[in-house]
């Protein structure tokens, strides 16, 4: 896991630095596009395989700048507030029940955007996110674990990192699109209960975003 995090961080830094350098050499700042964006998140946590069970519906919002490298390619960093998480049913030796996890991140993807046509693009790149707040609640009356009293922000890893990929449709002043974020870092930290240890939640973030973007210049 440590190696995965280091790999994503290295890709993020290298990709961002190289892209910004290339952009500075090939295009002027007057060609950059600035805007705001927001939309709906459909998020979950996965361990081995991603599935569509226990999806949490939430939102994302923030800013973006698209910097052309050529007519075909652009670099698009974004600064977003994004709520991820899941509705999890748990049943193990320690407790059983159902819980809702709402994880609020500041997220920074750095995307390579390829304009397949003047109005259609595909984009891909690394993202890194910082957890600013975690809200955990019991969702069943018979749940045997009190999340509100036993979990707080310190029980979650602050850094989430992974890969983003999606498609978009750009028009004169607005854009729409969909994107998938595949997390590579475990959400929860290891906990000790009695003489045993476990990680809960032991999943990684999986998130589909549908968004609308508004160009400001």
Strands 159-170 and 96-117: unpaired
The 10s digit of each residue's pLDDT in 191-216 is: 766 666 777 778 899 999 999 999 99
State which residues form the domain around 63.
2-215
Say if residues 110 and 127 touch (Cβ distance below 8 Å). Answer: yes
The confidence band for 110, taking pLDDT boundaries of 50, 70 and 90, is very high
Residue 201 preceded by cis peptide, ω within 30: yes
The confidence band for 109, taking pLDDT boundaries of 50, 70 and 90, is very high
Specify the pTM: 0.79
- pLDDT at position 141 is 62
- pLDDT at position 201 is 78
Q: For the domain that residue 11 is a member of, what is the CATH number?
A: 2.40.160.20
Share of the chain above pLDDT 90, in %: 55
Task: Pick the range with the lowest mean pLDDT from 25-29, 76-80, 172-176, 212-216.
Answer: 25-29
CA dist., res. 132 & res. 216, Å (int):
28
Placement of tokens 């507030």 in the chain: 81
Higher pLDDT, 90 or 125: 125
φ, ψ for residue 24, nearest 5 deg = -65, -30
The 10s digit of each residue's pLDDT in 21-43 is: 444 444 445 689 999 999 999 99
Question: Can you read off the two tokens belonging to residue 145?
Answer: 């674990």
Task: Give how many domains the chain has, as a whole number.
Answer: 1
Q: CA torsion, points 96, 97, 100, 101, in degrees to nearest 10? A: 0
């Amino acid at each position: 896991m440590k190696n995965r995090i280091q790999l994503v961080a290295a890709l993020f830094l290298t990709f961002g630095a190289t892209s910004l350098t290339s952009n500075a050499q090939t295009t002027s700042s007057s060609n950059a596009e600035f805007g705001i964006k927001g939309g709906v998140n459909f998020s979950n946590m996965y361990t081995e395989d991603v599935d569509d069970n226990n999806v949490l519906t939430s939102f994302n919002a923030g800013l973006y700048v698209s910097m052309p490298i050529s007519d075909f390619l652009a670099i698009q960093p974004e600064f977003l507030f994004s709520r991820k998480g899941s509705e999890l049913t748990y049943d193990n030796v320690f407790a059983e029940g159902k819980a809702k996890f709402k994880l609020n991140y500041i997220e920074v993807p750095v995307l390579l955007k390829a304009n397949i046509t003047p109005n259609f693009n595909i984009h891909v790149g690394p993202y890194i996110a910082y957890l600013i707040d975690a809200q955990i609640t019991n969702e069943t009356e018979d749940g045997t674990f009190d999340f509100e009293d036993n979990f707080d922000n310190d029980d979650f890893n602050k850094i989430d990192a992974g890969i983003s990929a999606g498609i978009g449709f750009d028009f004169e002043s607005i854009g729409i699109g969909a994107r998938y974020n595949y997390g590579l870092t475990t959400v929860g930290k290891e906990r000790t209960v009695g003489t045993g240890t476990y990680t809960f939640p032991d999943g990684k973030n999986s998130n589909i975003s549908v968004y609308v973007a508004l160009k400001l210049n």
